[in-house]
Every structure is written in structure tokens, then in C-alpha cells.
Structure 1
Amino acid sequence: MAWISLMLAGLFEMFGVVMINKLHKERNWKSLVLLVLGFGASFILLSYAMKTLPMGTAYAIWTGIGASGGAILGMLLYGESKDWKRLVFIVMVLGAAIGLNLFHKIGKVV
């Protein structure tokens, strides 16, 4: 359940980042409330996941989902650069998050 919570926290982090962009474009209460709710849900779910998962692993994966997801959403929704170098680094961030997950599981076995 902690891993599902962590993945959802990352998705809410991505939503919060999109809402920051929307708030910059449209200064209204709806955008602000959605921003606060998105990041609030993200922090609550991250906190729940960290009751079971190591802090370093949970935080790194949460940040990786938020950073890479935010970059991908910027490309899809806001026409940001889709240069292959940028995509390589997004894959590297996701690969590092997956590597931390594998190391966490291997560490428990050994």
C-alpha cells in the first residue's frame, strides 16, 4: 500500500506543478485552491508512504515522479521542447528512481 500511496503522491505533485503554471496564467481562486489541494494531497500521501518506506527512497522516487512528470506535462500541455537530450535525462531520472526501488527490495533480502 505504501508504494501505491507514493505513486499517487507523485501524481498529485505533477498536478500541483501544472496548477502553479495555471495560476501564473490565470490569477483566480480556483487555480489557487487546486494548487493547494494538489500539493496537500501529495504531502499527505508521501507522509503515509514514509511510515513504511525509507525516507531517502520515498523522497527520491516522489521527487523523480514530480520532476519527470512535470517536464513531460510541460511538453504535452505547454509546447515545451521535446529535444532528445531532454528525454534522455527524463529517462535517467526515472531509471534512478527504479534503481532505488530495486536496491530497497534487494537490501531487505540480503
Structure 2
Amino acid sequence: MAWISLVLAGLFEMFGVAMISRLHEKRNWQSLALLVIGFGASFVLLSYAMETIPMGTAYAVWTGIGASGGAILGMLFYGESKDWKRIVFIAMILGAAIGLKLVSSS
């Protein structure tokens, strides 16, 4: 259950990052509320996951999901470069997160 919580925490971090972009486009209370909800849920789920998963592993996986997910969202919805080199490095981040899961004792 901790790993599911950790993945969900990473997905909520991605959502929070997307809401930062939305807040820059639309300065309204809904965008701000969604940003707070996204990051709030992310931190709560990360905290829950860290009760079982070692802090270093949990934080690295959470950050990897958020960073690579944010880059993918930028490519899909904000016109950022889809250069193959970016995609290779995103895959490396995701591969490292998966590797941490595989070698983790939790």
C-alpha cells in the first residue's frame, strides 16, 4: 500500500505543477485552490508512504515521478520540445525510480 501511496503522491505532485502553470494563465481562486489541494494531497501521501519506505528511496521516487511527469505534461499541453534527447533522459529518470523500487527492501 505504501508504494501505491507513493505513486499517487507523485501524480498529485504532477497535478500541482500543472496547476502552477494554470495559475500563471488564469489568476483566480479555483486555480490556487487546485494547486493547494494537489500539493497538499501529494505531501500527505508521501508522508504516509515514508512510514514504510525509507526516506531516501521515497523522496527519490516521488521527485522522479514529479519531475518526469512535469516534463511530459509540458510536452503534451504546453508546447515544450519533444526532442528525442529529452525523452531519453525522462526515461532514465523513470528507470531509476523503478530500479529503486526493485532494490528496495520494503
Q: Same fold (TM over 0.5)?
A: yes
The residue that corresponds to 1:40 in the other structure is 40
Counterpart CA distance in 2 for 1:8 and 1:90 is 19
Task: List alignment gaps of at least 5 residues for structure 2.
Answer: none
* Coordinate RMSD, CA, aligned: 0.9
The residue that corresponds to 2:103 in the other structure is 103
Q: What TM-score do you get using the length of structure 1 for normalisation?
A: 0.94
The residue that corresponds to 1:57 in the other structure is 57
Counterpart CA distance in 1 for 2:4 and 2:103 is 18
Map Cα deviations across residues 39-63 of structure 1 (whole Å, 9 max, x no partner).
0000000000000000000000000
Q: What TM-score do you get using the length of structure 2 for normalisation?
A: 0.97
The residue that corresponds to 1:76 in the other structure is 76
Task: List alignment gaps of at least 5 residues for structure 1.
Answer: none
Counterpart CA distance in 2 for 1:94 and 1:15 is 17
Q: How far did residue 103 of structure 1 move? A: 1.4
Q: How far did residue 101 of structure 1 move? A: 1.0
Q: Which runs of 4+ in 1 moved over 2 A?
A: none
How many residues are aligned here? 106
Counterpart CA distance in 2 for 1:5 and 1:84 is 31
Looking at CA atoms only, which structure, 1 or 2, has the larger radius of gyration?
A: 1
